[in-house]
Amino acid sequence: MNRNNNYRCMERIRLYRISTFLSWTLIVIACLNAAFGIALLIKNTEQGHAPDDSFKIVHPVFMILQGIVFLIWGIYNLRKRKFYIEWDETELRLFLPDTKRIEKVKFSDIQSVIIRLFEIELRLIDKVRMIDLNNMKYEDLKKVKERFEKIK
């Protein structure tokens, strides 16, 4: 019960400013593009083609490749969206791309904080932790920096 209350008062900030709508749009366009490319390739190869008619093969192959690229791009964006920084009154939780695991840092373990333009350096008791803030929205960047100013 206490654990649930602790998570309710945590504030979460996403590290990447990626639109979910845009990512899903890319994936849908990719699937449609690849499907049309495959259908066009099948149609053109069944009809046969003259040696000087290579566009009938190149165009569908290009559509399929373009669909694959958009699909990879959309999935990549959706995967990046899961990274965040969150905190409550006693601890900081980081889920960052470099470690790909949740790190918990108690505020009492932080010895010093150095705030740079797009980076925060946390000096802990046993290590130094760098947090890259390059891809954050301005409002989120401001919130994170304000929070770390309080810790400082």
Q: Which long-range contacts (CB under 8 A, 24 or more apart) does 125-133 make?
A: 129/94, 129/103, 129/105, 131/85, 131/94, 131/96, 132/15, 132/96, 133/15
In the chain, pLDDT over 70 holds for what percent of residues? 89
Q: What is the pLDDT of residues 27-56, one digit of tens each?
A: 999 999 999 999 998 888 887 665 566 777
Q: Which residue has the higher pLDDT, 113 or 49?
A: 113
- Mean predicted confidence (pLDDT) in 19-27: 91
pLDDT at 94 exceeding the cut of 70: yes
Confidence band of 138 (pLDDT split at 50, 70, 90): confident
User: What is the CATH T-level fold of the domain 84-151, as seen in this structure?
Assistant: PH-domain like (2.30.29)
